Structure formats: structure tokens, C-alpha cells
Amino acid sequence: MTKEEALEKVKEDKDFLEKYQEWNNDKDVVIVKIREYGLGLQYVSKTLQNDKDVILAAIENNAENAFYIFDKLKNDKQFVLLAVKVNGLALEYMQHFNNDKEIVLEAIKQYSGSIEFASMNLRNDKEVVLAASREYGLGLFFASADLKKDKELILEIAKVNKYTCKYSLLKGYQTFEEIVEKEGEEFLFSCWNNLSVEVRLMVANHPKFIPTKEQIEIGIKDRNSETRQVYQLRQDEWLAKIEENKLRNSV
């Protein structure tokens, strides 16, 4: 089999490298496999486990692959910067850099939820919390107790995320209908990660609740296992209803 043939076959067959192990050490074939189907670094040849291009492709596909890289690279700041730029969640596996502001800000830029893995010192840094608040308001949720009470910071965050300073109002709401009536579904998802677990579960379990595809993606990554489970169980039901509504509206 020529390399050109191998590059085509690996795109079509997720088990290609298991069937043709002679290609396990070919960098181009392995990278295609990683990008098409995902491949854990623990299954890559020892030679390619130390190849930066292969490692970055694997981390981009799944941050957990950062766990398998050699200590030499884990301690290389320039490489860690590249890793968090392709997948901010890689910060979880680079904890010796979780107090490095430059690296944490790059991780947050790629995915705001990466602030969860920053040091407490940086979660008490206004610049870091503000950077993480530009998407879904995650910064305030993971901020230090002192910054959560900082009115000046909350007002600053409100300029980039207009719902941030309102999320605490939901604590008194008892039903899905009450939340939607008083705040609207747009608000509900703009502050989703700042809601209590109880409220998120109440919303996800409600029979009238139909999230968008983007909202489903948020829900199946929820930090709470029960909420994630509900989203995973109802995902097919919701996607079917979304398609039904699309067809109905097109008539």
C-alpha cells in the first residue's frame, strides 16, 4: 500500500491503524487519524509521542491527551503556550503552570471555562476574571470569594456580559415558566454556568424545554454530572424536535 493510499484509507476506516500497524509510526497518517476519529497519545508509537505536531493535534482533539506527554515538554513553557492555544482545557494537566498569568490568559482566550484550573491566586486577579467573563459569565463563577463581592468588577464584567450581575436573581425562582417569563431563554443560557445545580437540573428536566444545538453542546459539558446525564439522555429527543420545528417553520 502506498502512502497516498494509506492517507485516503485512514480517513474512511477508524480502525485503519489497528489493522495496518506498520503505519503507526507514520506522522502524516497518525495526524489524519487523530483529526478524523481521535486517537489517544498512549496508542501512538514512542517516537511520535515526542513529536510536537502529533501531540498538539491530539490535544486539540482531546485535552486529556496532555496527560500523556513527556515531562520535558510539560515543563517547556513555549510548548505549553501552544498547547493551551489549541485547547484551553489542557491547563488542567499543566498544573505547574496554573499560576503563570500569560499561560492562563491564553487558555482562557481559547476557552473561558479554563479559569477553573487556574490557581486561586489568579482567580483573585481582576484581569483574569474579566477575560474569562466574556463568554457565558464563567469568570465570576470561578472567581475568588472576594472578587465575587467586588461591585466595581461586576459592573465592568457587565459591559462585556450584560447578564453577569443578574444571575443571582434566579435563586428565588421555583419553576421553568417563571424563569422564562421574567428573564427569557436568552438570559437563561447567557448565565447558564452561574446558575445553581438545582436550577440547571430543573430546566433540563422540564418537558417544555427545548435548547438550541449550541445550548445542547454547553449542557453535555456541564460541570455537574447529573445535568450532563440529563442532556446526554435527552439529546436525541431535542435534536428531533429542533428538526421538526425547522420543517414546520419552512412550510
The three cell numbers of residue 12 are 474512511
**φ/ψ bin of 184: left (φ > 0), alpha (ψ from -120 to 50), beta (otherwise):** left
HSE-CB of 134 using CA atoms within 13 angstroms: 13
The pLDDT assigned to 163 comes to: 54
Write out pLDDT tens, residues 23-67.
777 888 778 877 776 666 666 777 777 788 888 888 887 787 777
| Tens digit of each residue's pLDDT (9 = 90 or more) over 84-141 | 998 898 898 888 899 999 999 999 988 888 898 999 999 999 999 988 887 656 677 7
H helical segments located in 115-224: 126-131, 138-142, 145-148, 151-160, 176-183, 185-190, 197-205, 213-219
Phi-psi category of residue 38: left, alpha or beta, with phi > 0 → left and psi -120 to 50 → alpha: left
Give the distance, in angstroms, between the CA of residue 67 and the centroid of all CA atoms in the same chain: 17
